[in-house]
């Protein structure tokens, strides 16, 4: 009876084995289920395979075994450029905007895959959501600060109104104040119904906004719990997060 009331699955990974080399998989049999509307954070020590897992889901790292389902559709072998059309948007950790283009061109580029009549309206909505970007649309993106770049990267990903937004360490290199601002925006985006999967090293900040956390160790999903439980669990923190916990 309880299962019937749960929202449907937005993302599912079944026995995923992935990595740049077939003989040296970094992700080793991960099973992952994310329900529509959830805000999930993927935690784990450096080298646990968090970034590789999301890159494999997006299509940037070869999947050797297993399957990825987006809203029930198998997207395991779909190339990255097709996944955006199916509602999956990704914000990489670094090089996540086109620095040679202006702010507006970064957004227009992403808007090329949505119907022409709604493009201008969608970009206006995003400018309303990110006023910093609206103030200087013709500014070359290379001149933006770290925080502004992350905002542009998130705005760029939201242009297509994705059902699932995956972000790889958006807090990297940002000051605590900017991290709080970025995460606050992510929480607000999640509140609009967008499912979010966040890879993070900044455990404290991530657990403050996420609903559920999944811990990856050595390419395997070892533990999952609600963010609230995990935030108060010193044993888990000691076992899996180590230095990351100490840093945050």
Partner 1 sequence: MSPQVIVDGLVAGAMIGLGATGVTLTYSILRFANFAHGEFIAWGAYFALAVSGFLGALAPALTAPIGPFSFGWSLPIAALAAIALTAALALLVDALLFGSLRAKNSAIIIMVMASFGAALTLRNLLEFIFTSSPAYYAEGLQMALRFAGVRATPDALLCLVIAAIIVIALHAVIAHTAIGRAMRAVSENPQLAAIVGIDSRKIVRLVWILGAGLACLAGVMAGLIVQIRPTMGLDLLLPLFAAAILGGIGSAMGAMLGGLIIGLAESLTVALAGGEWRAAVAFVILVAILLLRPHGLFGRS
**Which residues in this chain contact partner 1 in the complex, by CB under 8 A?**
58-60, 79-81, 84-85, 89-90, 92, 95-101, 105, 108-110, 112-113, 156, 160
Q: In whole angstroms, how far apart are CA 19 and each of 32, 46, 138, 221? A: 17, 16, 39, 16
The DSSP letter of residue 141 is G
> Nearer to partner 1 by C-beta: 45 or 92?
92
Q: Are the C-beta atoms of residues 72 and 9 closer than 8 Å to each other?
A: yes
- Least distance to partner 1, CB of residue 76, Å: 16
Give the helix ranges, DSSP H, for 130-233: 131-134, 146-158, 176-191, 203-209, 227-231
- Least distance to partner 1, CB of residue 105, Å: 6
- Least distance to partner 1, CB of residue 61, Å: 11
- Least distance to partner 1, CB of residue 133, Å: 16
> Nearer to partner 1 by C-beta: 6 or 77?
77
> Nearer to partner 1 by C-beta: 110 or 133?
110
Please classify residue 46 by burial: count the beta carbons closer than 10 Å to its beta carbon, then call 0-12 exposed, 13-18 middle and 19+ buried: exposed
- Least distance to partner 1, CB of residue 231, Å: 31
- Least distance to partner 1, CB of residue 92, Å: 7
Tally of residues, the chain = 248
Torsion 156-162-166-169 (CA) sign: positive
> Nearer to partner 1 by C-beta: 108 or 180?
108
> Nearer to partner 1 by C-beta: 23 or 95?
95
> Nearer to partner 1 by C-beta: 90 or 240?
90
Distance, C-alpha 226 to centroid of its chain? 18
Torsion 109-82-51-9 (CA) sign: positive
């Amino acid at each position: 009876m309880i299962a019937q009331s749960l929202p449907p699955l937005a993302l599912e990974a079944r026995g995923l084995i992935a990595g740049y080399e077939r003989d040296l998989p970094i992700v080793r049999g991960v099973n992952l289920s994310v329900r529509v509307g959830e805000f999930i954070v993927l935690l784990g020590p450096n080298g646990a395979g968090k970034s590789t897992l999301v890159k494999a889901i997006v299509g940037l790292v070869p999947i050797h075994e297993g399957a990825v389902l987006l809203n029930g559709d198998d997207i395991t072998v779909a190339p990255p450029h097709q996944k955006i059309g199916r509602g999956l948007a990704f914000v990489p950790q670094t090089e996540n905007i086109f620095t040679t283009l202006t702010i507006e061109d970064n957004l227009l580029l992403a808007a090329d895959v949505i119907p022409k009549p709604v493009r201008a309206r969608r970009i206006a909505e995003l400018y309303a959501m990110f006023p910093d970007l609206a103030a200087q649309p013709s500014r070359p993106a290379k001149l933006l600060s770290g925080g502004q770049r992350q905002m542009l990267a998130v705005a760029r990903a939201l242009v297509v109104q994705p059902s699932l937004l995956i972000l790889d360490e958006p807090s990297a290199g940002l000051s605590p104040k900017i991290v709080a601002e970025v995460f606050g925006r992510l929480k607000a985006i999640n509140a609009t119904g967008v499912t979010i999967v966040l890879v993070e090293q900044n455990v404290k900040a991530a657990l403050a906004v996420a609903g559920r956390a999944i811990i990856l160790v050595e390419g395997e999903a070892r533990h999952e719990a609600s963010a609230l439980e995990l935030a108060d669990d010193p044993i888990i923190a000691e076992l899996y997060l180590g230095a990351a916990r100490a840093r945050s």
